[in-house]
Structure 1
Amino acid sequence: MGMSVTISEATDRDAEQIFRLQYLCFQGEAALYGNYRIDPLVQTLDSVRREVAEDCVFVARLGDEVVGSVRGRVTEDGAASIGKLCVHPRLQGHGIGARLLRAVESALAGQRGATRFRLRAGHRSEGSLRLYRRVGYETVGTVKGADGVPMIVLEKPADTYAATA
């Protein structure tokens, strides 16, 4: 490829690429659960635009192409809810997901005062769960998603950031 992947805050110009990438990346999750109504697949472009404008959103770029994204927001209890982490299938396994997590965690703690990081993953999403545990997240409970998928809730203190390797 000859280019390196860069991580930066998303802008309104990125919303459509994030929307398309999310749809591509979460097809495997939908197949894993036999449920094509999971939130990342039914989210509207307008909703993605709102998240980019209001939340803490980072993208991974390869040249002009958005090849990864993640979102986070601080909730009422001071925890940062992180979600919709995705990396283009052709670039998975190269540390981009961990780099995106590190960027959003750093911004949520440093700029928005998060005291804990919280995320959720489907109970069968072994790759995601492996990544989250590798960067310090621990299981704190389970919930059922709005789409009916059983989810594992993971957390870690805000003073422990994701590895960047």
Structure 2
Amino acid sequence: MTISAATEHDAEQIFKLQYLCYQSEAELYGDYSLEPLTQSLDALRAELGDGCVLVARLGEEVVGSVRGTVDGQGTAVITGLIVHPRMRRHGLGGRLLGALEERLAGECSARLYRLATGQRSEGNLRLYRKWGYAQTGTEQVTRKFTLVTLEKAVGAAQEVQEAVYVPSA
């Protein structure tokens, strides 16, 4: 398994994986109009050029991806964390998140990480809390869907990563 920067050649695989991964979210909320399911391939290609996009590969297959951008105040917005259903529950989501955090802090001077997920997405919420994110807000998007925003300071990221990756002595 390798994690690396995505290239424009990865766009179609990311697009298909995104569609596959968000089926369970759509079912959970009874809403198949979620943006990741309606996004065009051209819009995804544009995102690849706008920020940092990482992919996880198993051989030539893209089995995970995550995106992030940093604004002028140093806030990194992390989106699109996806892991192929057959690869879930093996730590790949955390590895992708950690790699993106490291890159956004080192190359883009991020000072704060922000991400969001649906209120019923317990697996996502559990992962983000494990990585040190705390809830900072909610927004009711539709009658059925409330978006939960979570944040953590960049300094907290290193502490959490060390706790996860460094074996105890």
State if a TM-score over 0.5 links the two structures.
yes
Aligned partner of 1:151 in structure 2 is: 147
TM normalised by structure 1 equals: 0.92
Q: Structure with the greater relative contact order (CA < 8 A, sep ≥ 6): 1 or 2?
A: 1
- Secondary structure (helix, strand or coil) at the match of 2:108 reads coil
Aligned partner of 1:27 in structure 2 is: 23
How many residues are paired up?
Answer: 161
Aligned partner of 2:74 in structure 1 is: 78
**Unaligned regions of 5+ residues in structure 2, if any?**
none
Specify the code of the residue in structure 2 equivalent to 1:50.
A
What is the alpha-carbon root mean square deviation over aligned residues? 1.7
Deviation at 1:38, TM superposition (A): 0.6
Identity of aligned residues (%): 53
- In the aligned structure 1, how far is the partner of 2:49 from the partner of 2:21? 22
Offset from partner CA, 1:89-127 (integer Å, 9 cap, x none)? 000001100010011111111111111000001000000
Query: Which residue, 50, 55, 79 being the options, matches 2:51?
Result: 55
- Is 1:121 the counterpart of 2:138? The answer is no
- In the aligned structure 1, how far is the partner of 2:94 from the partner of 2:136? 20
**Unaligned regions of 5+ residues in structure 1, if any?**
none
Q: Which structure has the greater CA radius of gyration?
A: 2
Aligned partner of 1:9 in structure 2 is: 5
- In the aligned structure 2, how far is the partner of 1:64 from the partner of 1:84? 20
Deviation at 1:146, TM superposition (A): 7.8
Specify the code of the residue in structure 2 equivalent to 1:118.
R
Offset from partner CA, 1:51-81 (integer Å, 9 cap, x none)? 1122100000000000000000013432100
Contact 2:29/2:144, CA 8 A, preserved across alignment: no
TM normalised by structure 2 equals: 0.90
Q: Greater share of helix residues, 1 or 2?
A: 2
Contact 1:38/1:147, CA 8 A, preserved across alignment: no
